[in-house]
C-alpha cells in the first residue's frame, strides 16, 4: 500500500494540508484501509463524488475511495441506519485524510506528548497520533464503536488507551495532557478539556457554532486557567452528541410577516469571517444556506424555538419571511453590516477564549471581545 499512501500524501502536501515529513511517515505507519469499513458512504472532501462503497461488490472502487481525500460514513442514525445508504444522518465516519492531517499539524505532536482525543471513531486518528510518538487516551461515547476501534487498533499493532465514556468529561484519571484533539464538532468547548491540559498545552478542535460554517480552532492553555487562540481555517465535522441541534423551518409560511430586502442572502453566507461575526453577536441563532428549487435561501431559527426566518434570493430584491417575537433576519443583517463596517476581516482575524465562567469570541486581540 506504499504507492497508494505516497500518492495520497503527495496530493495532500501539494494542496497545503501538511508540511511535516513526520506526518507522511505516520500515514505510512498506519495504513488507512485497516480502519475502513467493508461498506460505507464515500463523500469527497469538497466538490466531488458521493456514493456507496462495498469491498466485496466493487473492490477496486473501495480501494480507490479508501486512499483518496474523502470521508467514509461508518455509522448512520447512531447505529439504526445503513451507513452505505447515504440517506440516514451520518453519526460516525473515517474522516477525510486532508482534514485529519491538517489538524495533526496544528496540534504539533511531539514524541512523549500525552494526548487526549475526543471521538475515537474507527481509531485511525488515534493510531496516527501514536505513530507520531504520543501516549494517547481516546474517548468514545458509543461503546460499540469503542470496542470495534480497540480491536482494530490491537490488530494494527497500536495500543492507545480507549475509554467508552462521555467525551465532555475528558479523562481526569489520565490527566494532565499536553494536548487535546477533538474529532467531533463543538459549539461550547467543555472547560474540562482546558482543566485537564497543562499550561502551554494545545487544544485543536472543530468549532461548530449554531450559525454558519465550522472553523478550525487552535487554543493554548494559559497559566490563569484559560485557553485562547485563533481560528485557522474551515472545518466540517459531525457534532458532539451532547450538543446536537436541528434547524427546522415550517413548510407553511403563509402566516409569516413578509418583506423585501436588498441584502443578498448569498452574500451574507459567503464568508467565514462574516459567519464568526454573526455567531458572536447571535450565539443562540441557528442559520444555514439551503437550495430550494435551484434558488439560494437562508434559513434561520433561534435555539429556544420561538422565532424563525427564511430569506429567498431574487433578482435585485430578495423576499423575507419572519415569524415569532424576534425578527431574526433583521438581527443577522445588522450583525453582518457590523462586520462590513470593520472592513470585512477574514476568519483568521478572530479567536476564542474559554474560561471557567464563559466562552467568548474576539477580533484581532483577546482583549477585544465581540461576543454579545
Question: Which phi and psi (to 5°) does residue 17 adopt?
Answer: -75, -30
Report the C-alpha gap between 321 and 201 in whole angstroms.
Answer: 47
Report the C-alpha gap between 276 and 208 in whole angstroms.
Answer: 10
- Angstrom CA distances, 234 to 119, 159, 213, 238, stand at 19, 31, 7, 14
Q: Which of 93, 95, 96, 228 is catalytic?
A: 95
Element (H or E) spanning 318, and its range?
Answer: strand 318-323
Is 95 labeled as catalytic in the residue annotation? yes
Other C-beta atoms within 10 Å of 27: how many?
22
Q: Is the peptide bond before 153 cis (omega within 30 degrees of 0)?
A: no
Residue 160 near residue 146 (C-beta atoms within 8 A): no
Q: What is the DSSP letter of 89?
A: P
Residue 140 near residue 121 (C-beta atoms within 8 A): yes
Core vs surface per residue 337-367: b (16+ CB within 10 A) or e: eebeeeeebebebbbbbbeeeebbbbbeebe
Report the C-alpha gap between 20 and 290 in whole angstroms.
Answer: 38
Report the C-alpha gap between 232 and 109 in whole angstroms.
Answer: 17
Spacing of C-alpha 1 from chain mean position: 29
Report the C-alpha gap between 244 and 325 in whole angstroms.
Answer: 24
Report the C-alpha gap between 88 and 20 in whole angstroms.
Answer: 37
Tell me the catalytic residues: 95
Amino acid at each position: 500500500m506504499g504507492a497508494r499512501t505516497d500518492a495520497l500524501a503527495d496530493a495532500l502536501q501539494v494542496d497545503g494540508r501538511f508540511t511535516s515529513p513526520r506526518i507522511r511517515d505516520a500515514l505510512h505507519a498506519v495504513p488507512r484501509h485497516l480502519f475502513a469499513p467493508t461498506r460505507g458512504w464515500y463523500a469527497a472532501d469538497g466538490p466531488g463524488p458521493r456514493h456507496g462503497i462495498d469491498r466485496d461488490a466493487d473492490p477496486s472502487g473501495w480501494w480507490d475511495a479508501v486512499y483518496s481525500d474523502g470521508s467514509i460514513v461508518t455509522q448512520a442514525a447512531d447505529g439504526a441506519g445503513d451507513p452505505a445508504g447515504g440517506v440516514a444522518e451520518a453519526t460516525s465516519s473515517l474522516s477525510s485524510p486532508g482534514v485529519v492531517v491538517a489538524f495533526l499539524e496544528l496540534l504539533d505532536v511531539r514524541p512523549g506528548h500525552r494526548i487526549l482525543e475526543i471521538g475515537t471513531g474507527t481509531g485511525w486518528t488515534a493510531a496516527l497520533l501514536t505513530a507520531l510518538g504520543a501516549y494517547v487516551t481516546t474517548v468514545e461515547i458509543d461503546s460499540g464503536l469503542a470496542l470495534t476501534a480497540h480491536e482494530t487498533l490491537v490488530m494494527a499493532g497500536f495500543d492507545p488507551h480507549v475509554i467508552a465514556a462521555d467525551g465532555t468529561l475528558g479523562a481526569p484519571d489520565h490527566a494532565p495532557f499536553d494536548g487535546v484533539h477533538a474529532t467531533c464538532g463543538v459549539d461550547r468547548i467543555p472547560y474540562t478539556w482546558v482543566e485537564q491540559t497543562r499550561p502551554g498545552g494545545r487544544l485543536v478542535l472543530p468549532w461548530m457554532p449554531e450559525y454558519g460554517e465550522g472553523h478550525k480552532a487552535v487554543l493554548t492553555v494559559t497559566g490563569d486557567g484559560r485557553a485562547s487562540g485563533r481560528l485557522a481555517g474551515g472545518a466540517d465535522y459531525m457534532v458532539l452528541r451532547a450538543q446536537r441541534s436541528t434547524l427546522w423551518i415550517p413548510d407553511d409560511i403563509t402566516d409569516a410577516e413578509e418583506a423585501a430586502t436588498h441584502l443578498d442572502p448569498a452574500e451574507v453566507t459567503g464568508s467565514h469571517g462574516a459567519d464568526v461575526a454573526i455567531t458572536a453577536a447571535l450565539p443562540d441563532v441557528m442559520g444555514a444556506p439551503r437550495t430550494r428549487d435551484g434558488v439560494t435561501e437562508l434559513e434561520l431559527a433561534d435555539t429556544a424555538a420561538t422565532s424563525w426566518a427564511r430569506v429567498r434570493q431574487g433578482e435585485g430584491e430578495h423576499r423575507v419571511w419572519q415569524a415569532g417575537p424576534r425578527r431574526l433576519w433583521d438581527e443577522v443583517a445588522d450583525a453582518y453590516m457590523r462586520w462590513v463596517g470593520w472592513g470585512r476581516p477574514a476568519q483568521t482575524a478572530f479567536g476564542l477564549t474559554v474560561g471557567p465562567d464563559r466562552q467568548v469570541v474576539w477580533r484581532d486581540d483577546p482583549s477585544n471581545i465581540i461576543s454579545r
